[in-house]
């Protein structure tokens, strides 16, 4: 059973999400938050598997709430799935930096939402390759850092190469094909890199790759 916390200031949106999730045998809505502060509070009290987090809420917004949840060691197992009306805007990358495991548009198909919850609940990142590429193109095209972030030296040359491919939006299967290795080996390298860099998931690995300067955004 996947336990879900809804965080949205619009009662109609929460009601719609609850109706959809309550109809599933393997999903349970354990609480509803109307703002970021209550989302953090309820996350600590209820320990949901996944928080469906709206971005724009009164008081503490969804990004700051995500940051507080991700920074709390007691909530390490809680995953945040950002829901937004605004598509690939500046909120999305900020949310990934804050510790979100992925994001989804509020007008996504119900089946996509259910799949996204399952993906995030099992510890994976909801960051499809096409979305990654668009995100990089739109929001990470600033100048590279003047100094690399600490941590790059802990990766082997092969791991750095694989992290770069992850940041370019390749799946494990695509990485395996390009590097002539098995998908399982590619996944193992990705997991080792995440462990060494203390990244919660693949989304955080993408953020690290760009913020560290390992990958330089390609300008259009």
Question: DSSP string spanning 149-177?
Answer: PTTGGGS-HHHHHHHHHHHTT--HHHHHH
Higher pLDDT, 81 or 143: 81
Answer with the one of 79, 109, 126 that is the final residue of a domain: 126
Residues 137 and 122 in one domain: no
Confidence of residue 138 (pLDDT cuts 50, 70, 90): low
Predicted confidence (pLDDT) per residue in 109-126, tens digit? 899 899 889 988 887 776
For residues 174-197, average pLDDT: 92
Predicted confidence band at 27 (pLDDT cuts at 50, 70, 90)? Answer: very high
Q: Are 119 and 146 members of one domain?
A: no
Q: Is 85 in the same domain as 111?
A: yes
Q: Is the domain of 58 the same as that of 115?
A: yes
Residues 112 and 151 grouped into a single domain: no
39 and 90 assigned to the same domain: yes
In this structure, the answer to whether residues 164 and 211 fall within a common structural domain is yes
- Containing structural domain, residue 96: 2-126
% of the chain beyond a pLDDT of 90? 50
User: Are 54 and 157 members of one domain?
Assistant: no
What pLDDT is stored for residue 157 in this prediction? Answer: 92
What SS3 class is residue 64? helix
* Euclidean distance between CA atoms 36 and 68, whole angstroms: 10
**Do 78 and 178 share a domain, yes or no?**
no
Q: Same structural domain for residues 99 and 156?
A: no
Of 95, 126, 157, which residue is a domain's last? 126
Residue 105: CATH number of its domain: 3.40.50.2300
Domain end among 74, 105, 126: 126
Together in a domain, 113 and 178: no
Q: Is there a single domain that holds both residue 151 and residue 188?
A: yes
User: Measuring CA to CA, which residue among 46, 126, 132 is closest to residue 7?
Assistant: 46
**Other Cβ atoms within 10 Å of 79 Cβ, number:** 28
The number of domains in the chain is 2
Highest mean pLDDT among 102-111, 138-147, 180-189 belongs to 180-189
pTM for the model: 0.71
Looking only at the bridges linking them, the beta strands covering 79-84 and 27-33 are: unpaired
């Amino acid at each position: 059973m996947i336990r879900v916390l809804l965080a949205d200031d619009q009662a109609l949106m929460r009601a719609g999400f609850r109706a959809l999730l309550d109809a599933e045998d393997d999903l349970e809505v354990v609480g509803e938050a109307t703002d970021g502060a209550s989302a953090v509070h309820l996350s600590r009290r209820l320990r949901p598997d996944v928080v469906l987090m709206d971005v724009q809420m009164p008081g503490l917004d969804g990004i700051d709430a995500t940051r507080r949840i991700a920074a709390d060691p007691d909530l390490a197992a809680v995953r945040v799935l950002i829901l937004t009306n605004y598509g690939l805007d500046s909120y999305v990358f900020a949310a990934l930096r804050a510790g979100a495991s992925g994001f989804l548009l509020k007008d996504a198909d119900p089946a996509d939402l259910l799949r996204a919850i399952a993906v995030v609940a099992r510890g994976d990142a909801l960051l499809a390759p096409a979305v990654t590429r668009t995100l990089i193109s739109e929001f990470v095209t600033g100048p590279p850092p003047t100094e690399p972030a600490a941590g790059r030296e802990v990766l082997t040359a092969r791991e750095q190469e694989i992290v770069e491919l992850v940041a370019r939006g390749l799946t494990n299967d695509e990485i395996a094909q390009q590097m002539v290795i098995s998908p399982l080996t590619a996944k193992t390298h990705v997991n080792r890199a995440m462990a060494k860099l203390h990244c919660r998931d693949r989304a955080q690995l993408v953020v690290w790759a760009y913020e560290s300067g390992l990958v330089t955004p390609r300008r259009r």
